Every structure is written in structure tokens, then in C-alpha cells.
Structure 1
């Protein structure tokens, strides 16, 4: 029997067909994989939000401390995993991620598979073996805020992917920060708390610092949780997103603020205000 070998042209045709199929299928596989990550992230966010609301039911329907050290934006989690003084331990233990820990079955719930780690604080896994990563940021305006003071819980953001498409190993975060002159350093005063009538009510939000990253975490948007318990994906930017605009890399350039900002000069983040109606 004569056995004819493939000619060079036939081999090139086969290679071309394989290349075309790969160009068509690889993006499809990549999109499917990212869709699965987004679903996993949304599920974790739902569990986090449920834990937060369970906490409020056990503590007089009040949200936990978001920033127990006045306006600190981030704290180590778990609270006892880094050397510190007893006072440092107490402050860390009161941070939101540690406060709701008893209502969460495992640490993996805090994470999002789409986010990338940035170890900007050089956390050493050898000395901190239970290294923790929180992909979700708590709304800082909820600092010890009563649920009764939220007229539209279905509009009020509780958790969001405030650091964009990144996480910080060993830390959980708060953003926006409760930034008013209602609080003073201990032992002379109270904790900071959001106030639309505060002496200094401009928003501080972690989006122009070393934490800067794209907020197109999942396709063209990111996941959000709300005070009524529901979670959903929102395009960034959009009317329902905190961001009014982002640049070509998905990094926010402007933030939605309430109408009264233009008459009073008090400009909190619109979709994070506990009093939003």
C-alpha cells in the first residue's frame, strides 16, 4: 500500500485552521472563566453582607465600628496575627472584619478570585502564617450607624470592591472614610462618624493613592452589596455606580455627589450616604 505524506501546503492549512480556532475559542474560554470568578465573588460578597446584617441584629440593629482608630482606613485581620500592644490588639479586634468574623464560617469568604494581591506592606507569611486577604471594602459612613437611620436600605451600599482589582494581604479596608470634626484623638473625644452637617464633610476615598487600580474588576464593572441584603454587579461608571467617570484604564476620575454639594460645599459620596433616599 502506498502511503502518501502530508505536503507542506497541507500542513500549513492545518496549522492555519488550528490558529483560527484558537483565536475564536480562547477568548470564549477566558470569558467563561472570568464569569465563573465573578459568580464566586458575588457569592462571597453575599455571605459577607449576610454576616454584617446578622451582626446588626445582635447589636441593637447598629452597624459595627468601621474604623476604631479614628479615621484609619485599614487594619490587620485576624486581629491577633501581628505583634502589637494590648491597645493595638483591642483596636484591631474592633475593626469591622474582625467584628463579623464569628458570623462567617471560613476566611475564604472575604476573598474574590478576580482580584490580584499587592503586598505593599511586605507581610511575611513565615511570621504571619494565617495570612488573610479581604477583597471587599466596607462603607466607612456606616460607623456605628443605626439601621433605623437608613431610609432607603435598597440604595445604600454596604460592601463594595473599593480597592478595584486588587487586595492587600493581611489587611481589610474602609472607604469612604467617616471624615468630620465630630471625633478627636483619645482620651478627649468620640470616634469619627459620618455627618452631613459636620464642620469638615468632604469625602476621603481610597482612589488617588498607592491603592489605585482599575475598577473594572469584572468586565466593565464590579460587585456591590446593599443594606437590604441584596448584591449585584454594576457597570463602572454609570448612574448607579459610585463613579461618575473612569479613565481608559478603568481608574476612577470623578465621584457622584449629592445636589446639596453645590450649595453647601459639603460633598459626601452619593451612594454611600446612610441617609440616601
Structure 2
């Protein structure tokens, strides 16, 4: 009798019991893994937003030293990203941990001038940090609504500014091709007043166009699509660009 009871107490799990346990673990893993992935991406987004905040402070320090004028994207030798290193002290701030291009060099180092190499994670709105050939960038006093004007945002583009135009005549979909919305369909954006916010790409284009003049605005005043007004005073255009809304939607779909 004792022998039988001992054998019963030492009996292991049956195959069915093991399969049930494995199935329960699989279900729990399927539920929890996406939650863990989102939590990890949220932490990366916070790091990315912190980078942009530090970059924004450096830009504002620059404007205070240069009569409240925004810099151009290229001074003939270096990008604006390299030129503001004196205020930032760390080129690592240009690397977003979520961006798949964050180890690729966008601007080569210039040791003779003390300029570090800059990787591809962020790019500027060309209406605020203008291409050198478009004329001088605007002064702070020219910007009507700084809290709705994007200065720098997540990007995969290798150069300093992120072209965000849309032109069906030459097949340009710059917003889709140059943007990055890998923070669970969001892109982190630095605004002219210094705040940073994660937004869906379409939220940057409507109900308010946060980028300035585009190729398909009706023109005139702040929405002049000519040159160079498109780049210098065009930052104050808030009129929605239907083409850019479509391109922002395409960018959003890439990361869904």
C-alpha cells in the first residue's frame, strides 16, 4: 500500500498537462511581447525627444549670439549641425536610437576645424534653416507663430535640411521619402519656441500647415510659392497643402 502511494505521489506531468502549460505560456508571450516592444520604443522616443530639446537650446543660444538670425544649412564648408557644436559639446545628440540610419554619416568630420562627423537622424525645415542658395534664413522676429513652426524633426535624409515639398509634375514626394515616423507611427518635432512633441506626420500638415509654403499653395503673401520668398518669408504660411497632406499620409503608412 505504501509502495503504491509513493508511486502515485512521484507521478510526473502527463503530456496533455505539459501541452496546456506550453499553450498558456505562448498566449501570455503573444500578449506581452508587443507591450514590451512598445515600452522599449517609448523609452527610445523619450531619448530622441531629449536630444531634440538639447539641439533646440543650442539653436536658441546661436541666435542670441548672432542678432537673432537663424543659420543657413551650409556655410560653404560645414553644416549648421557642425557649426552649433560649440553650444552642444556632443555630436552624439544627433543620433536617434530608433532611426535605422543613426550610424550613417551625413556630414563628414573636419578635424582641422574641430568639426565632428554628424549621423543621419534629424533634419531641419528649409523654411527656417534655409539652403544657402535660397538666401538668408529668417530672423526670429519674422516668425509669427513660433509654437506651430517646426524647426527640426526626425528624418532619414543625409543632409542638413529635410525637403518637405510635393510636386506631382516631377514625381517628388519629399515628405514621404525623407521623413521618419518610427516612434509607433509618430515623428518627434522641435518647434521654434523650443518645445518638442511627437506627432503623426499628417498632424504636421493639417488642420495647420506647420512647415510653411509648399508647392501647391495658392500663392500671395505668406504663401508665396516663388523664389526666394518661398524659403525666407514662406515660414509663416499656415494654409494647408493638399499635396503635402497626401505625402504625409504616405509617410505614415510606411511605419504602420
Across the two proteins, how many residue pairs are aligned to each other? 204
Aligned partners of 2:58 and 2:88 also within 8 Å: yes
Equivalent position of 2:198 in the other structure: 233
* Matches of 1:261 and 1:160, distance apart in 2: 22
Counterpart among 126, 145, 149 of residue 152 in structure 1: 145
Is 1:175 aligned to 2:162, yes or no?
yes
Aligned pair 1:133/2:123, yes or no? Answer: no
Name the structure 1 match of 2:25: 18
Matched, 1:64 2:71: yes
CA shift for structure 1 position 258: 7.0
C-alpha distance 258-140 of structure 1, shift in aligned 2 (>3 A): closer
What are the Cα deviations for residues 69-118 of structure 1, in whole angstroms up to 9, with x where unaligned? xxxxxxxxxxxxxxxxxxxxxx233x211111111121111111110028
The aligned counterpart of 2:250 is: none
Gaps of 5+ in 1: 69-90, 179-203, 245-254
Structure whose CA Rg is larger: 2
TM-score w.r.t. the length of structure 2 is 0.67
Residue among 70, 76, 85 paired with 1:101: 85
1-structure distance, mates of 2:139, 2:173: 22
Structure 2: how far apart are the matches of 1:15 and 1:214? Answer: 42
How many angstroms apart in 1 are the aligned matches of 2:160 and 2:125? 9
3-state SS of paired residue (1:26): helix
Assess, with a 3 A threshold, how the Cα gap between structure 1 residues 205 and 45 changes in structure 2: closer, same or farther. farther
Distance 1:122 1:67, change over 3 A: closer
| Structure with the higher fraction of residues in helix conformation | 2
What TM-score results when the alignment is normalised by the length of structure 1?
0.62
Contact 2:102/2:121 (<8 A) preserved: no
Please, which runs of 5 or more residues in structure 2 have no aligned partner?
1-5, 110-115, 131-136, 166-171, 239-256
Alignment of 1:205-224 (within 5 A): 206-207=174-175, 212=177, 215-224=180-189
Judged with a 3 Å threshold, the aligned counterparts in structure 2 of structure 1 residues 55 and 256 are, in CA distance, closer, same or farther, namely: closer
2: CA distance, partners of 1:167 / 1:175: 6
How far apart are 1:123 and its partner, in Å? 10
Shift of 1:243: 7.2
1:43 aligns with 2:53: no
Aligned twin of 1:28:
35
Over residues 136-192 of structure 1, what are the superposed CA-to-partner deviations in whole Å (9 max), with x where a residue is unaligned? 11122223321111121111111112x3xx464xxx4212389xxxxxxxxxxxxxx
* Offset, 1:220: 2.3
Secondary structure at the residue paired with 1:140?
coil
